[in-house]
Amino acid sequence: MAHVSRDPYDSPPLRGLGPVQGTLRVFVALQCWGYAAAHLHFGSKSAVARMLEQEFYLPVGDTQLFDLAAAIALSLTGMSCLLRPAWPVLFGLFLGQVLFVGSKAWLSEDSHPALILMQHGAMLFSPIILACADLWPSKQKFSLGFWIAIAALMRLAVCASLLGIGLQAIFDSHNSGELLKVASGTLRTLTGQSPDTPTTQSALCILGAFQIGLGITLLLSRSRPAASLAVVVGVLTAASFSLGLGLAGYPRTLTHLILAGMPAALGLFWMSAIEEGEFRYVPEGYPRLSPGH
């Protein structure tokens, strides 16, 4: 009888990777469509266009053409990500994200550059994470190593986003920033009454502190309840832009849903591919060991 190795490096691919990949595909596609909708539906000017106008003195007509071309490309990229993403497409999307986030940080509009980079951690790295997840479901021995790296990168990206948004929420609660306006509109939509400023500031500050604590928890522990809670917080954070800003906020809702999608993919990975107790990665087709074995 052939010997069956229990070394995960000599085993088939890890169990349950399909739902992880599918979750990432959906939310990366929604992110692309959110960026595209901001220009195609509302004519919003991207941070890249604003930087080109302010720093390089490009005419408005040229930057509008740039935004239109980028919006069309993102619409097609979103469809590609949903069906079967190719690594050149995802690498191009990553470079576009670097340009977009870098432009926002360069302009430093209403926030510190470091906070801007942190807030966009999940958005920025989601194309690279999806590329790695789709390129390495193979039966090669290095598959496990890549998936350990993918999970670690997801944890870092989610943590950075939660910390960045939490710190920005606390900052805006004291300085009447944009998130205070979003929080006020959300409370007004949910309660049917206009909340006073101190109430809104307190609610936003508490939410920011909670996001910071949740981000640190996910960074320091492999907590499945924390990952589930991060999904709920991500959905609420994304929905608040539509609730607080009305129809004009829905593109940002689409882009920020990655804050729910990435912890969902991370939680699915932890639940499917890892068994607690005697820690081990679980390859596809292997039965779960009962406690004590």
Indicate the pLDDT class of residue 4, thresholds 50, 70 and 90: very low
Residue 137: predicted pLDDT: 54
**Whole-number Cα distances in Å, 87 to 115, 134, 139, 174, 255:** 29, 8, 19, 43, 21
Q: Are 164 and 115 in contact (CB under 8 A)?
A: yes
Residue 292: predicted pLDDT: 47
Decide: helix, strand or coil at residue 280.
strand
Q: List, for residues 231-266, the tens digit of each pLDDT value.
A: 999 999 999 999 999 999 999 999 999 999 999 999
**pTM greater than the 0.85 cutoff:** yes
User: Token pair 């360069």 is at which residue?
Assistant: 106
**Average model confidence (pLDDT) across the chain:** 89
The DSSP symbol for 281 reads E
Residue 1: predicted pLDDT: 41
Residue 3: predicted pLDDT: 45
Is the pLDDT confidence value at 136 over 90? no
Domain boundaries, the chain: 10-280
Q: Are 288 and 275 in contact (CB under 8 A)?
A: yes
Decide: helix, strand or coil at residue 127.
helix
Of all residues in the chain, the percent with pLDDT exceeding 90 is: 73
Q: Which two tokens stand for residue 236?
A: 């609420």
Kindly report the three-state secondary structure assignment for every residue of 42-109: CCCCCHHHHHHHHHCCCCHHHHHHHHHHHHHHHHHHHHHHHHCCCHHHHHHHHHHHHHHHHHHHHHCC
Between CA 66 and CA 42 the distance in angstroms is 15
Q: List, for residues 66-114, the tens digit of each pLDDT value.
A: 999 999 999 999 999 998 878 899 999 999 999 999 999 999 887 899 9
